Chains A and B, each alone.
Chain A
Amino acid sequence: MSDGPRISTPAWREVDRLAALERYAIMDTAPEQEFDDLVRVAAQVCGAPIALVSLLDDERQWFKAALGVDVKQTPRDIAFCAHAIQQRDVFMVEDATKDARFAENPLVTGDAGLRFYAGQPLETPDGLPLGTLCVLDTEPRSLTPEQRFALKTLARQVASQLELRKALAQQKSSEERHRRILESAIDYGIISMDLAGLISSWNEGAHRILGWTEPEMRGRSCEVFFTPEDRATNVPEIEMGAALTHGRGSDERWHLRKDGSRFWASGEMMPLTDQQGEPIGFLKILRDRTDFKNAQTALQASEATAERDRQLLTSELEHRVKNTLALAQAIVGQSLRTATTPAGARDAIEMRLVALGRAHDILTKSNWAAAPVASIVAAATAIHGAEPDRIEAEGPDLKINARAAVGVSMALHELFTNATKYGALSNDAGKVRVEWSVSGEGDSAVFQLSWRETGGPPVTPPSRKGFGTRLIQASLSGDNNHKSDISYASSGVVWISTAPLRLIKED
């Protein structure tokens, strides 16, 4: 090499050059008229029998266009072009047999018998040589300055053609990608239309969601997929108007499918404008959100139910609180009315409120629906600290409603109070027997509760009918045939209360 023309170190790296070549995606592609024309012109201008567009990868030169040779490629190590790309100007070998670099080259010594080579690098916009446009001859010769200029000019044309080809390929691939995105966006219906609402494109998603195909819809009015009620109220026009005025029109409504069924669309309509910004049509993007809409509707319905339940519960709670207040008020009022001393009144009020509270405790356990009679009796016994063996309680497993439970609790409280003060529980021997039962069937069934004291001191009837007595008598809701009665036999107090079962049984 030392005896050849001086070769300046190129301003590029081979790895970048190869990467650039890759980006042009041209190696091994079919012949193209544009390149064929350019090599023909190059051959004519230079008066050469052979002209090539030669591209150089890491192991070969490959001819995108070739005039005067049959081969499509040669190994890189014998390629003149490999030398040509090392410089920026025309690389010329006038007689290869006289050039040490090419004298032993098989293209020179073999059947091809090449003698002359002139090649101009094909540079990318950033200066990377992909190959050359070259002319060759089997006779030693040279190029005139005009021919050199023509070769350089034509090489730039080839490079421009390569650039154009690459740009077109990129655009095509981006269009293809764009089309594929539109097609694959099957969850979205993407519809374009003109200013009158006539459809100009209709993607696969629109086909899937609405049922019509693009050929069926092109040129038709978008009104076909609006519901009759929306058409009647000019919703399509309003939506387009909103798109023009505000840049978008919201589309949250029921739409029609081809088969007449409806779906909940969620989307919007936007104006399409030309390069001057003038509207030329609309783009409508919509999704089928029927499932979402149905779920939302169901949720709203269940929320409404929950709200109704909440209101019912609030109303029921309010009723209970008010009723309890009214009861407490009655207890206080009655106790004050009948008490003979303030201390007596205070004790009576306290004890009665405790009895009321205990009845409520029992009711709370059953969600205020019902209370077992046995529990009410046991609670009353416990409040008064009565010795269990002096109280006999017996009756069927029966639950009574809240009002009856409170009534029985309060009555038992009064009976226990009296028994502890004056009756069977005022000495060490007396006993109390509490019994309950149901007789009869259906609507005529009657509940009976009895309290019988024995073994206490002799009983004398009270001088006046106090609150306790009245409470005991009125404790169970009765009618004219079923009342409570208390008798003050000397052997002990007896209370018998009856009530129609239907009025006191659990709700």
Chain B
Amino acid sequence: MSMSQSHGLVVLVVDDEALIRMNAADMLADEGFATIEASGAEDALVQITCHPEISVLFTDINMPGMFDGLELAHRVHAYRPDIRVILTSGRSPPAPSEIPEDGRFLAKPYDQISLARLVAN
């Protein structure tokens, strides 16, 4: 079902809400992206370490655990500046100064086309 032209991009999808994470992963798969899923910020850091092929981080901000999605984005940006960061949340967007350089924000709920466009660009 998620067969289409490959962009060669691997997206790490992070959301503690399983349903939403799965749906996001499926949307990206439909658009031809490879995905890896993580259920939290700590789990995501492990995935980043294990999968050097990850090129885009798409993460929810509000998650339980040691640190949230925003902190995750900053850590990933510091460790792998080549990974592009896309943040999402049901809350108001963070101030641009709070987002890592070149980072983007996508409000929840989001649609497949908007998500794919942000990830591709």
Most central of A337, A475, A478 by chain B CB within 10 Å: A337
**Distance from A165 Cβ to chain B, minimum over Cβ atoms (Å):** 84
- Size of the A side of the interface (Cβ < 8 Å), in residues, is 33
Q: A319-B62, A477-B40, A503-B40 are in contact. Are A330 and B108 (CB under 8 A)?
A: no
Cβ 8 A contact of B91, one of A319, A333, A401, A478:
A319
**Distance from B63 Cβ to chain A, minimum over Cβ atoms (Å):** 8
Is A410 interfacial (CB 8 A cutoff)? Answer: yes
Most central of B21, B91, B109 by chain A CB within 10 Å: B109
List the A side residues contacting B118 at CB < 8 Å. none
Cβ 8 A contact of A318, one of B22, B64, B91:
B91
Beta-carbon contact of B18 and A319 below 8 Å: no
Give complex CA distance A7, B39 in Å.
125
**Distance from A146 Cβ to chain B, minimum over Cβ atoms (Å):** 109
Cβ 8 A contact of B18, one of A322, A407, A480:
A407
Closest to B91 in A: A319
List the A side residues contacting B89 at CB < 8 Å. 319, 322
Give complex CA distance A323, B91 in Å.
9
List the B side residues contacting A315 at CB < 8 Å. 91-92
List the A side residues contacting B110 at CB < 8 Å. 326
Is A429 interfacial (CB 8 A cutoff)? Answer: no
Q: A321-B90, A330-B22, A474-B21 are in contact. Are A479 and B40 (CB under 8 A)?
A: yes
Beta-carbon contact of B40 and A322 below 8 Å: no
Beta-carbon contact of B22 and A474 below 8 Å: yes
List the B side residues contacting A503 at CB < 8 Å. 16, 40, 64-65
Is A379 interfacial (CB 8 A cutoff)? Answer: no
B64-110 at interface with A (beta carbon < 8 Å) = 64-65, 89-92, 107-110
Is B34 interfacial (CB 8 A cutoff)? Answer: no
Is A334 interfacial (CB 8 A cutoff)? Answer: yes
Beta-carbon contact of A337 and B64 below 8 Å: no
Question: Majority SS of interface residues in chain A?
Answer: helix
Is A471 interfacial (CB 8 A cutoff)? Answer: yes
Give complex CA distance A467, B18 in Å.
11
List the A side residues contacting B53 at CB < 8 Å. none
Is B1 interfacial (CB 8 A cutoff)? Answer: yes
Is A386 interfacial (CB 8 A cutoff)? Answer: no
Beta-carbon contact of B20 and A477 below 8 Å: no
Closest to B1 in A: A337
Cβ 8 A contact of B16, one of A337, A403, A410:
A403
Cβ 8 A contact of A471, one of B19, B37, B92, B107:
B19
Give complex CA distance A318, B43 in Å.
27
List the A side residues contacting B62 at CB < 8 Å. 319
Residue ranges of B at the interface with A (Cβ–Cβ < 8 Å): 1, 16-24, 26-27, 37, 39-40, 42-43, 46, 62, 64-65, 89-92, 107-110
Q: List 7 A-B contacts (CB under 8 A).
A: A318-B90, A326-B90, A333-B27, A401-B64, A403-B64, A407-B17, A479-B46
